[in-house]
Structure 1
Amino acid sequence: MRVHITSLYGMMGVVGVSQRRTAEIGRQLGFNELGIFRYPVESDTDAELSKRYDGISAGIGSGDIVIYQGPTFNGTKFDDYFITNLRWRYGQSVKVIIFVEDIVPMMYQGNEYLFPQVIDMYNKAHALIVASENMKEYLIEKGVVNPKIYVQNLWDLPEKVDTSITPKFMKRISFTGNDGKFGIMDAFPESDVALEVYGSDKREDVPQNINFNPFISDEHVLLNKLREGGFGLVWAENEHVRNYMHYCNSYKVSTYLRAGIPVIAHKSISCAKLLEKNHWGILADTLEEAVDIIDNMSDEEYQKYIESVEKVGFLLENGYFTKKVLNEAIYGLYVDD
């Protein structure tokens, strides 16, 4: 018996990176990788598509376990057919775990009509791995009946940081990425607390305490820059994006925690309980509230956050969130607690 895990290629950005890193952690556990390429799937005939599936799944045998990382962004039809084909070909002899890393009908407005297909696909699996308890509850409300659902909580980030750099208390908040879909700069208050933005185009119509920095593509360099101190911002003023962040796992959370600095996030974020219970950051209803907390924070208070964050950095570096949930899901296929 072997355990297989899919991995997405041909896709840039966080989606591709996160899937390949998850597959790498799987390989550390002895899993076999099944590579899936993102391509214009609509160009394939049914016969061509069938051959493509046969190539991907050629190494799967009776009694094996397949962990399918989804979506592949090849379309719901592609993902559903892969799962359906496995169940048709092997019946119950092959166990299927779907690692739900994003949900397209929730990500993009106008795609809600895909929900019935997605829920039907999830119900064909023997187990699901989902981002958060919030997502687990929501999927059950939408019709998921699978009793085996396991929660990921955070993305791992197996990147080294320069431990000779000690994060210092600064009235500085860092935000990585393009602000276009988040709408933070238009809502950030003018104050003594600076917002350092890495990646968005410079704007002149913002408060003077917002500073623009070039995008840093080298993750190691970015982490060490963030590690200088202050806080990391995971936020959205856009209502649709904020709502999705209530369910999904944001890679930004893990980026800041791996850098060794506390997180600032909205109280509705999916990992809110984890951040609060472990003293990994500040939860607020508004950016004004978050800025006010920092403005009145002491160095001693900040150092307590740093001590707490340092502990989770070890887990993120060594892939323990992913290892834990993968092992739980496989264990649960055969043991009822």
Structure 2
Amino acid sequence: MCVILIKILEVSLLNKYVINILQPNSYNAMSKAKDDVNHFLNELNFQSINVRKFKNKFEKFAKTRLVIDKKFGFLQQGDILLMQFPTYLGRRFERKLITRLKQRHVKLLVLVHDLDILRFSNKDGSHIPTLKMDVEDLNEYDVVISSNSKMTELLQKNGLKRPVVDLEIFDYYYSKPVSKLPKFETTLNFAGNLKKSEFLYDFSDTLQTKLRLFGLYDKSLKLPKQSEYCGIFTPEDLIIHLDRGFGLVWDGLSSKAIEGKLGNYLKYNNPHKTSLYLASGLPIVMWSGAALSSFISENHIGILIESLDDIDQVLEKISEPDYIMMARNAQKLSEKITSGYFVKNAVNAALSKI
């Protein structure tokens, strides 16, 4: 115990940094998930190094060395840098940066948000790194923070050799407490890019369960007849509107079964909308084969299903006391998720492995 406390004290005295990637010509973060990690790590005394995403491959090629020198030239032996993977700064940039920092004996942590080859296709010439390339890159870090145990198993099966810590679930920064339980309704809330959520347009007309939809919407596409389009909101305002029913975590080509790359990606990733719903205090409806399904069942915060065709029968069996129990459990998790409990816990565990 004393050895652990000494180790924690030693790490707390080190200079710790996190890369914060910004949009080109902007002070805005690349995503709320990464911005929230940056926010919570600031609370752990990590200092942010702001780097703007390159506008194009020409700027990336011309300015890689300049950016590395300007933004990271001060780092020295014993310093700790955490990167959020993928950075979208380019594989060439990342490898050059890591080589430079290793020469200076800087300790490197990486938090894996996504493995793009599992969710996107290379058919459009986007040159997404293969899983083998991703694993090669991750093996360059001192400690890897994986999204969850299923992602860890996949990475290790494909050659990951570095020490690993499982995040479990992403946090979701929200400054106001969610004190009121959501209203008991057999309603599904879905937040996301509605145009890309192809399963919505396969939703059976015979189903009675109501859908409340939030997000970018292409009006040329016909939404399910049982749906209500509720609009687009900022992440902070959206939580206020998620005040009833369940939060739906589903993806892919079909509502009848999980199909397509995005659908199957649920086997490995932590969908950020799960964290949004839990931050709101909503119980979850999720595909039973998802990586987060065990987290949902173990914490008694939702329902797991094989097909959305079954949703009417499944929700009919949920009593109001059942719903209140799940909502109270979700509310307890909301307190953790909105305060950065999971990323702080994972990063501290990773620091102990350095």
Q: Same fold (TM over 0.5)?
A: yes
Match of 1:315 among 332, 336, 345: 336
The aligned residue for residue 228 of structure 2 is 211
The aligned residue for residue 5 of structure 2 is none
* Aligned 8 A contact 2:181 2:327 in 1: no
Give 1:221 deviation, angstroms.
2.1
TM-score (norm: length of structure 1): 0.90
The aligned residue for residue 352 of structure 2 is 331
Task: Note if 1:94 corresponds to 2:102.
Answer: no
What SS is found at the alignment partner of 2:89?
A: coil
The aligned residue for residue 286 of structure 1 is 307
User: Could you give the per-residue CA deviations for residues 101-151 of structure 1, whole angstroms, max 9, x where no partner exists?
Assistant: 1223223212565333322211111110111111111111222111x1111
The percentage of aligned residue pairs carrying the same residue is 22
In structure 1, how many angstroms separate the alpha carbons of the residues matched to 2:167 and 2:198?
A: 27
Give 1:45 deviation, angstroms.
7.3
Give 1:16 deviation, angstroms.
2.5
The aligned residue for residue 85 of structure 1 is 100
The aligned residue for residue 157 of structure 2 is 141
In structure 2, how many angstroms separate the alpha carbons of the residues matched to 1:139 and 1:44?
A: 32
What SS is found at the alignment partner of 2:199?
A: coil
> What pairs with 1:13-24 in structure 2 (closer than 5 Å)?
15-24=30-39
Give 1:224 deviation, angstroms.
1.3
* Aligned 8 A contact 1:64 1:95 in 2: yes
The aligned residue for residue 257 of structure 2 is none
Give the partner amino acid of 1:287: L
* Aligned 8 A contact 1:187 1:237 in 2: no
Give the partner amino acid of 1:115: L
TM-score (norm: length of structure 2): 0.86
Give 1:328 deviation, angstroms.
0.4
* Aligned 8 A contact 1:105 1:113 in 2: yes
In structure 2, how many angstroms separate the alpha carbons of the residues matched to 1:156 and 1:31?
A: 17
Aligned residues: 327
* Aligned 8 A contact 1:267 1:285 in 2: yes
What SS is found at the alignment partner of 1:136?
A: helix
* Aligned 8 A contact 2:21 2:29 in 1: no
> What pairs with 1:120-159 in structure 2 (closer than 5 Å)?
120-146=136-162, 148-159=163-174
In structure 2, how many angstroms separate the alpha carbons of the residues matched to 1:72 and 1:10?
A: 11
In structure 2, how many angstroms separate the alpha carbons of the residues matched to 1:276 and 1:164?
A: 23
Give 1:7 deviation, angstroms.
1.0
In structure 1, how many angstroms separate the alpha carbons of the residues matched to 2:279 and 2:129?
A: 37
The aligned residue for residue 74 of structure 1 is 89
* Aligned 8 A contact 1:5 1:33 in 2: yes
Match of 2:218 among 176, 201, 204: 201
* Aligned 8 A contact 2:23 2:29 in 1: no
* Aligned 8 A contact 2:178 2:280 in 1: no
Task: Note if 1:265 corresponds to 2:286.
Answer: yes
Give the partner amino acid of 1:213: C
* Aligned 8 A contact 1:161 1:259 in 2: no
Give the partner amino acid of 2:249: V
Match of 1:5 among 1, 9, 18: 18
